[in-house]
Amino acid sequence: MKAAFAAPAALLLAAFAAPLAQGTPRVDVGRLDYGLAARALAPGVWVVEGANADFSPANGCNIINTGFIATGQGVLVINTGPSKRYGEQLRALIAKTTNEPVVQVIHLNLHPDYFLGNQAFADVPRLATDATRAGMAREAKAYEDNLYRLCGDWMRGTEALLPTGTAALGPLRLGGREMELREYRGHTDSDLVLVDKASGVVFAGGLVFAQRVPTTPHAQIGPWLQSLQALVSLPLKTLVPSHGPVRADASAVAETQRYLQWLDKRFRTLAEQGAEMNEVLRAEAPAEFRGWAAFGTEYTRNVAHLYPRYEQAVLKAAKP
């Protein structure tokens, strides 16, 4: 079995023990109700915040920040969540929040909580980059299987429904709303960032994590750091990360940069010293990162995903 995000299966079992963070949506496990709430960030712009935690039955695998924007001629939905049930509850929330119909969905990258809610949006265009759509198609079955193993009944009836079209990069105009789609890479091979021009709200997707250890199943740290540097120059007033609290500045970008820079240096140094993976896991980490959500499980996955590359680089450099 491939594990969610391609991590070794044993590492993902720890997700069941992940505690819920303060500020987590009040899910009703008995009724399988995510307790979704729309928080206005600016006129016509809402975020729906997930738990700043790891996947678990306690949060229904809802650890993603989704969002939606009313354009005057319909609603643009940004990511659809981790399950059919989430998608249905998100669509109902949108209908309660605005009278405008949903007219389009944008997926910011290929990870499961960005698109497994698509069944509730089967009647509208769902857009992603070609690279993201190909990645979804490649990994959809593994995502379905493993999120079901992690979160059980929350995932009942969930079947991956892929995007229907290609997102056009650059200016995006819907109704009276001027937006922009920018493509970066590093967290995955194709990371979209959506900028709402009028409000200065930036949906940064998987490039930015706030007070949470980044996920790295498809990561390339060098390009990721370059992308984060580019994000700093955006004229943003509000930053919506993929996971963790919304910020009124770019501080979460700096947090993600610090973590990736530390990870890169740590793995490079330990690989040069010939450390094995279990020694990497036991090595002390800075208190700041140990205090972030999902450190106990996600750092373990960071090591599994990335450390072998550093070992290979050292071995390659040592060859005559």
pLDDT digits (tens, 9 = 90+) for 130-187: 999 999 999 999 999 999 999 999 999 999 999 999 999 999 999 999 999 999 999 9
Q: Report the domain count for the chain.
A: 1
Task: Give the mean pLDDT of 211-234.
Answer: 96
Query: Would you say residue 10 has pLDDT above 80?
Result: no
Long-range contacts of 296-301 (CB under 8 A, 24+ apart): 296/14, 296/18, 297/11, 297/12, 297/14, 297/15, 297/18, 297/54, 298/54, 298/212, 298/213, 298/214, 298/215, 299/213, 300/11, 300/14, 301/5, 301/7, 301/11, 301/12, 301/215, 301/216, 301/217
Q: State the pLDDT at residue 24.
A: 58
The structure's pTM equals 0.90
- For residues 49 and 23, the model is more confident at 49
Is the pLDDT score of 20 beyond 60?
Answer: no
Residue 75's domain comprises 4-168+176-318
* CATH code for position 17: 3.60.15.10
Digit-coded pLDDT (tens) for 71-118: 999 999 999 999 999 999 999 999 999 999 999 999 999 999 999 999
- For the segment 30-59, the average pLDDT, to the nearest whole number, is 95
